[in-house]
Amino acid sequence: MADALTTLVADHLRRRHGVTDTAAVAALLEAVAAGHCRADLAPNRFAGAIGTVLAADGAGIALGRHARAEARLARRITALVARPPTDLTDDDGALVRARFPGAASALDHQAVAVVAALRHPLTVITGGPGTGKTTVAATVVEALLARQPDLAVLLATPTGKAAARLRESLATSRLPPDLAARLARRTATLHRHLGVRPDGSGLRHHAGNPLACDLLILDEVSMIDVDMLAAAFEALPPTARVVLLGDRHQLASVEAGYALGDLAAAARGEEYDDTVSPAFAAACRALGLIAPPQGTVPALADRVVTLRTSRRFHDDRGIGRWARAVKGGMVPTSAEAEVRRVSVTDLLAEAEAHGRRLVQAATPAAALTALTEFRLLTPIRNGRQGVIGLNRTLATRLGLEPGDPGTPILITANDAGTGLANGDVGIIGTVDGHRQAWFPGDDGTPRAVALRRLPPWEPAWAMTVHKSQGSEFATVGILLPETEGGLLVRELLYTALTRAKRQVLLSATDAVLTTCVAATAARRTGLVGLLRG
């Protein structure tokens, strides 16, 4: 298939633009398939295609659409950064000190992030699981609503599952229950907010028809490709604020680009550099907070804050220790109760036992709760140890056919009619003799959808690590098979590890783990250069 595509594209470029270097075309397509926005290739290898279907700059060769998407996004970000900061009030200071009481005596990155979001129309808040990104966002909303009670807030995520998790986080936040419920009703996938048309003909909301929005909070930004993020920024009114939340160490989007990582890199370069401008430091001190160190920094630096203290994991043990080591390219060698190395046989036995609990669940609510207890993750789709093979194996062990009650399912396409989105996870059950699929509702109660109305779906006993992003499970089983190069990278293992809240069951050889943590999925893009000017 790849060879056929290369031949087709190479033939088109030769006939229309005089490109005769088939090897260069193949290298460019390989880079695009890997999610890069640029390929490190000489422009003279592409002759007349540069400036038409391809673009060339200091970052390399790009498809024209990728170069245009990065340029569109850079223009919007630059305009937001150029807007003057907002003066903070005594009420702002009182709220921040109340929410983060330790910030008056020690540097608290959550408090700093709130100050950044209240001062600036664009804020990027990065951090791993449990570092309090949603708490920061909730505090920002609370403060802005105190200033402007009719503030139009939209909360968006790349997947339906991530939207459900964000609603759950809001419900357990410090926000008043009525406000949390109001925000939950305004939480949806980015595709739904923008009005992606089913026929692919465009978006309902864009620069000419902007969203009714004063504040956009966009979660799980690492999963959003550069074109969709550019579309989101372009659909905002000129006076709107944007807060981006995400974990820059997770896998990047399936499509091209790595906007979250590029924003952080353009702002600070080094991940743990806290330095802010003198004006930002003064704003923190004026609120009675300990300020980060001040110095000469790019304007974007005041708008990017990294949260580091996890309330879920400990850096020196368990899942947290593994996650920290993997980020640094190492494999922990000491035993950890939270991360157990197991055989494939034992891992499948655990997945089967969880499947039986799903089948035996007494009610839809119980089944949906059980769904969050365990998930089997793998990096590949095909083969015996890929998603397709594992789902087939587990269904056989459980004696189930496709569509039988107790089968967990993953929606694979957006569907406005049912309100289901690509990435939503539910379970098939029987009510009064009729089979239905059950999904978590916006209010936390199960909602039923008739099987005949379901958009395309697949069994979800096992999922790819990519599809698991935006999800959390009490226990995660990770199966890392020996596979072709390029798939096993540290970002993949980090993402899989941090889907677990309590325990990880890891099946992988030492050789595979060593290969995995040594490789990185860093992408070649042009956004950093555009933002730095």
Q: What is the pTM of this model?
A: 0.91
CA–CA gap between residue 258 and residue 72 (Å, rounded): 15
From the number of C-beta atoms within 10 Å of its C-beta (0-12, 13-18, 19+), residue 434 rates as exposed
Strands 187-189 and 153-157: parallel
85 torsion bin: left (phi>0), alpha (psi -120 to 50), beta (else) = beta
Of the two residues 430 and 443, the one the predictor is more confident about is 430
Q: Which of 484, 483, 510, 516 is nearest to 497 (CA)?
A: 516
Half-sphere exposure of 250 (CA within 13 A, CB side): 29
Close Cβ partners of 130 (under 8 Å, ≥ 6 residues apart): 310, 311, 312, 313
Q: Cα 28 to chain center, whole Å?
A: 26
From the number of C-beta atoms within 10 Å of its C-beta (0-12, 13-18, 19+), residue 215 rates as buried
Q: Which of 499, 498, 493, 37 is nearest to 225 (CA)?
A: 37
The answer to whether residues 100 and 143 touch, using CB atoms and an 8 Å cutoff, is no
Q: What is the pLDDT of residues 64-97, one digit of tens each?
A: 999 999 999 999 999 999 999 999 999 999 999 9
- What confidence tier does 271 reach under pLDDT thresholds 50, 70, 90? low
Calculate what percentage of the chain has a pLDDT beyond 90.
Answer: 71
What pLDDT shows up at residue 442? 67
Calculate what percentage of the chain has a pLDDT beyond 70.
Answer: 98
What pLDDT shows up at residue 485? 63
Close Cβ partners of 400 (under 8 Å, ≥ 6 residues apart): 359, 406, 407
Q: What is the pLDDT of residues 191-246, one digit of tens each?
A: 889 988 766 678 899 999 999 999 999 999 999 999 999 999 999 999 999 999 99
Whole-number CA gyration radius for the chain: 24
CA–CA gap between residue 499 and residue 157 (Å, rounded): 17
CA–CA gap between residue 6 and residue 256 (Å, rounded): 18
- What confidence tier does 273 reach under pLDDT thresholds 50, 70, 90? confident
Q: What CA–CA distances, in Å, run from 103 to 112, 290, 503?
A: 9, 6, 32
CA–CA gap between residue 36 and residue 32 (Å, rounded): 5
What pLDDT shows up at residue 336? 82
What pLDDT shows up at residue 417? 83
What pLDDT shows up at residue 269? 74
Close Cβ partners of 136 (under 8 Å, ≥ 6 residues apart): 110, 113, 114, 117, 125, 245, 307
352 CB neighbour count, 10 Å cutoff: 15
CA–CA gap between residue 375 and residue 354 (Å, rounded): 9
CA–CA gap between residue 197 and residue 334 (Å, rounded): 51
Q: What is the pLDDT of residues 313-362, one digit of tens each?
A: 777 789 999 999 999 999 988 778 899 999 999 999 999 999 999 999 98
Q: Which of 262, 247, 250 is nearest to 307 (CA)?
A: 247
Q: What is the pLDDT of residues 431-480, one digit of tens each?
A: 777 889 999 876 678 999 999 999 999 999 999 999 998 888 999 999 99
1 has pLDDT over 60: no
Q: Which of 194, 172, 195 is nearest to 184 (CA)?
A: 172
pLDDT, the chain, mean: 91
Beta-bridge partner residues of 392:
none
> Per-residue pLDDT averaged across 19-39, rounded?
91
Q: What CA–CA distances, in Å, run from 204 to 198, 423, 472?
A: 11, 22, 31
What pLDDT shows up at residue 185? 87
What pLDDT shows up at residue 210? 96
Strand order in the sheet with 457-459: 446-450, 434-440, 425-431, 408-411, 457-459
- What confidence tier does 484 reach under pLDDT thresholds 50, 70, 90? low
Of the two residues 345 and 175, the one the predictor is more confident about is 345
Residue 428 parent element (H or E)? strand 425-431
